[in-house]
A and B are shown apart, each in its own frame.
Chain A
């Protein structure tokens, strides 16, 4: 009888003894040239882009399941749909994963810990969000960020909130999707709830339409770039041209920017340094413009219900004209309002003239309707 009992126990134990298992979901490469376009249609996936040096695009997608029951793993893999193809000069990657597959690793906090962490994050965020930043410190923030501001906070303070007993019980998936692309490839992106991290400077044009996308770049160098983001976040060390539209994106962090037009809506924008010919139009966003480049020439901003934060205005040699209506100016602890909301007539709010005895950087022109201007 005993061997029978043991065999029953053995079969009962098997489903509960989980280990790490790795599943390779895609491994393919295509020969490409300078005319090749990489088309990406993505749902619920996190992809890291690396530079390829052998004139080929390489796709490699794998998942490692940690403490995952076999059936759950199979259910999850059913939600993974990935295929690649090449037709003429177009290489296409289609990823249609279910939302349950998810895009990235979570910090694995219990609900109680998460609640405490989020409350503390809100406090932390409120106290730190208005402080001045140099271009380099913002670039470092971007370089070492682990996701959005909340996610970054949760990961960097994991020790404070994580409960080892809770983590040890949680099943997890380590997802790794790497695409190696030669620098000369044009990329077109259509992405839903996806995370895209580029670990090389992108010289060729990128066109991107994303919804709840998490995008991170080093340098975006093409003047023909076109980005349209709804929700999610966007971080880039440097932009040298193109058109960018952000709606509900928190945060948009840009280390330095030049020759670019931005359309913003209900987002948070932080720019380390503004360079040559930058134009921003906004509705109801918070903007933090920390520094101006020594040759920025001109910068134009027009906003409705915007909060514009400018730093080191007195110490920097640029000229500035601010006009608008129903706008509050906060400067040196003094709050002044300009133009009643009912009148809707533009008045000149502030003027700063260039200094004659030091190099002139350029002119800042600001038009604010129902805005707040904080001069720090």
Chain B
């Protein structure tokens, strides 16, 4: 089986095949296509990262939004106490006002007091707006308490005054001292 290996070269006809004329262009075209494919993959990765960041960002945003709204709606102990205090006063003011209306028979007086109460309520609304913005500010709280206290005293005083006037033990003679 001895053989001259030089014959092998003569037998291999493929080596002699000539390269096509546009081989170079085809080669660069293929190389370019491969490059495009890898850059497409990179974009997909970047998009994935962006999506994750967006997701994390959205989740954080909604978490804090919900959290802060919870904080806004959840009342502190002092706010609850103030609300109770406020309600107690407002109930008493309304009660006193109703009994004042019942005993007062001077429409001019009632109107004057209605104006006074409205002025006081306007002031009260301004104070409660400020209290909403800053619930634990002692100065605003003090103003709120003063307003309620004054309103209650105002109505109580005039009601007691009318009640005293209505206790009739009428005299038509001048008293001399």
The one of A100, A102, A108, A350 in contact with B177, judged by C-beta atoms closer than 8 angstroms, is A350
Interface size range on A against B? 35 or more
Question: A335–B169 contact, CB under 8 A?
Answer: yes
Question: B176–A353 contact, CB under 8 A?
Answer: yes
Chain A residue nearest to B142 in the complex (CB): A106
What is the bound-complex CA distance between A212 and B116, given in angstroms? 15
Question: B138–A286 contact, CB under 8 A?
Answer: no
Stretch in contact with the other chain, from B9-17, B49-57, B154-162: B154-162
Interface flags for B123-159 (1: CB within 8 Å of A; 0: not) read: 0000000100010011110110100011001100110
Does A69 belong to the interface (CB within 8 Å)?
Answer: no
What is the bound-complex CA distance between A45 and B176, given in angstroms? 52
What is the bound-complex CA distance between A338 and B161, given in angstroms? 15
Which residues of B are in contact with A by a Cβ distance under 8 Å? 78, 81-82, 85, 105-106, 109, 112, 116, 130, 134, 137-140, 142-143, 145, 149-150, 153-154, 157-158, 161, 164-165, 167-172, 174-177
The one of A44, A112, A248, A305 in contact with B161, judged by C-beta atoms closer than 8 angstroms, is A305
Stretch in contact with the other chain, from A23-31, A201-209, A340-348: A340-348
- Among A172-224, those with CB < 8 Å from B are 193, 212
- Among A284-309, those with CB < 8 Å from B are 284, 286, 305, 307
Distance (Å) between the CB of B28 and the closest chain A CB?
55
Question: A111–B174 contact, CB under 8 A?
Answer: no
Besides A106-B138, A307-B161, A338-B171, 15 other CB < 8 A contacts? A111-B85, A114-B145, A115-B85, A150-B149, A193-B143, A248-B154, A314-B177, A335-B169, A336-B171, A337-B170, A347-B174, A348-B174, A351-B175, A352-B177, A372-B164
What is the bound-complex CA distance between A150 and B82, given in angstroms? 18
Distance (Å) between the CB of B164 and the closest chain A CB?
6
Chain A residue nearest to B177 in the complex (CB): A352
Question: A313–B167 contact, CB under 8 A?
Answer: no
Question: A370–B138 contact, CB under 8 A?
Answer: no
Question: B169–A336 contact, CB under 8 A?
Answer: yes
What is the bound-complex CA distance between A92 and B146, given in angstroms? 31
Which residues of A are in contact with B by a Cβ distance under 8 Å? 44, 99-103, 106, 108, 111-112, 114-115, 118, 150, 193, 212, 231, 248, 250, 266, 283-284, 286, 305, 307, 313-314, 320, 326-329, 331, 335-338, 340-341, 347-353, 370, 372
Distance (Å) between the CB of A188 and the closest chain B CB?
25
- Could you tell me the dominant secondary structure of chain A's interface residues? mixed
Given contacts A102-B139, A248-B150, A305-B109, A337 and B167 within 8 Å (CB-CB): yes
**10 A-B residue pairings within 8 Å (CB atoms):** A102-B142, A118-B145, A248-B116, A314-B177, A328-B164, A329-B175, A337-B170, A338-B170, A351-B177, A372-B165
Closest 4 CB pairs of A and B: A102-B139, A352-B177, A111-B81, A348-B174
Distance (Å) between the CB of B15 and the closest chain A CB?
68
Distance (Å) between the CB of A78 and the closest chain B CB?
13
What is the bound-complex CA distance between A314 and B48, given in angstroms? 99
Question: A341–B105 contact, CB under 8 A?
Answer: yes
Question: B150–A231 contact, CB under 8 A?
Answer: yes
Chain A residue nearest to B130 in the complex (CB): A99
A326: chain B residues within 8 A (beta carbon) = 165
B145: chain A residues within 8 A (beta carbon) = 114, 118
Question: B150–A370 contact, CB under 8 A?
Answer: no
What is the bound-complex CA distance between A88 and B137, given in angstroms? 40
B157: chain A residues within 8 A (beta carbon) = 284, 286
Distance (Å) between the CB of B122 and the closest chain A CB?
12
Given contacts A102-B138, A328-B167, A351 and B158 within 8 Å (CB-CB): no
Given contacts A118-B149, A286-B157, A305-B109, A99 and B177 within 8 Å (CB-CB): no
The one of A103, A112, A320, A372 in contact with B139, judged by C-beta atoms closer than 8 angstroms, is A103
Distance (Å) between the CB of A110 and the closest chain B CB?
9
Given contacts A99-B143, A106-B139, A340 and B174 within 8 Å (CB-CB): no
Distance (Å) between the CB of B169 and the closest chain A CB?
6
The one of B78, B105, B134 in contact with A111, judged by C-beta atoms closer than 8 angstroms, is B78
A248: chain B residues within 8 A (beta carbon) = 116, 150, 154
Given contacts A100-B140, A103-B139, A111-B78, A347 and B172 within 8 Å (CB-CB): yes
